[in-house]
Copies of this chain bind each other. A is one copy, B any other.
Amino acid sequence: MRKDGRAASELRNTTIDVDYLTAPLACALIRSGATWVLCTASVEEQVPPFLRPKPSPNGPRKEPQSGWVTAEYSMLPGSTGTRSSRAPSGRSKEIERLIGRSLRAAVDLTRLGARTLTIDCDVLQADGGTRTAAITGGYVALALALRRLGDKGLLRESPLRQAVAAVSVGICDGQPYLDLPYEEDSRAEVDMNVVMAQSAEQSPPSFVEVQGTGEHGTFSRQQLDALLGLAEGGIGQLLALQKAALAVGR
């Protein structure tokens, strides 16, 4: 049995509160055990330079063909016992790229119009699994933001294609575990983050991203299979929690 009493395939106690803050366009606070991530969505009526059509000297101004969804990730300095610097690290950038790619899988960007949605994921308190919590909570903020843009009549069709959720799995003391807190994560032989998506019509969920690393050891094909199985189970539960949270939000 694990130190916190959970079974190997058991998620931490997880809640998702929508509209915790009222100033931003949309907000979801996800709490997985002592890992708390505040996800807020903002919209800007322009797209990044790489999506803008090249200007032609004489022709009319062209509109971008697609919108964009991006993410920023940051840990508050006081989110852990030992204060960490605010300076963005290489690690943060890598995590932001993962969150951004994962959330874009949820959206048909061509239906978004020439605008950018930014999902800010700020870790209030960190106890392992912050990047996967950011994806799971970030999806809720994203879906809520799209609903509100739709309510304002800014979208012809909903750009939402499928729900996206994520969880960490790993091998600790030779055992495959679901949803590792810091205590397990820091000594895990293998650490894996799994992101999956589920559209309304489709069953079962499929993979968006699999990132497995042998931090202190390598892993066999058999171990990899066990980890993927645990992840599939956990993500099923998280997709249900997201659905329930979105049913509550306006």
Nearest to A63 among chain B residues (CB) is B57
Question: CA–CA, A215 to B23, complex, Å?
Answer: 25
Chain B residue numbers with a CB within 8 Å of A228 are 221, 224
Inter-subunit contact B208/A83 (CB<8 Å):
no
Inter-subunit contact B211/A210 (CB<8 Å):
yes
Which listed residue, B40, B76, B91, B127, touches A77 by the CB 8 Å rule? B40
Shortest Cβ distance from residue A123 to the other chain B in the assembled complex, whole angstroms: 10
Question: CA–CA, A1 to B118, complex, Å?
Answer: 38
A86 at the interface (CB under 8 A from B): yes
Inter-subunit contact B207/A212 (CB<8 Å):
yes
- Given contacts A90-B94, A219-B206, are A124 and B77 in contact (CB under 8 A)? no
Which listed residue, B21, B42, B94, B214, touches A36 by the CB 8 Å rule? B21
Inter-subunit contact A207/B214 (CB<8 Å):
yes
Inter-subunit contact A38/B212 (CB<8 Å):
no
Chain B residue numbers with a CB within 8 Å of A187 are none
1/0 contact trace for A24-44 toward B, CB 8 Å?
110100000010101011101
Chain B residue numbers with a CB within 8 Å of A82 are 42
Inter-subunit contact B210/A24 (CB<8 Å):
no
Inter-subunit contact A209/B220 (CB<8 Å):
no
Inter-subunit contact A77/B214 (CB<8 Å):
no
Inter-subunit contact A120/B83 (CB<8 Å):
yes
1/0 contact trace for A62-103 toward B, CB 8 Å?
000000000010101111111100101011011011000100
Which listed residue, B24, B86, B215, touches A81 by the CB 8 Å rule? B24
Shortest Cβ distance from residue A129 to the other chain B in the assembled complex, whole angstroms: 14
1/0 contact trace for A190-206 toward B, CB 8 Å?
00100011000000001
A61 at the interface (CB under 8 A from B): yes
| A-B pairs with beta carbons under 8 Å apart, 18 shown | A21-B79, A23-B79, A23-B80, A23-B125, A23-B126, A24-B79, A38-B76, A38-B78, A40-B78, A42-B83, A72-B77, A72-B86, A101-B215, A105-B214, A105-B218, A206-B219, A206-B220, A209-B213
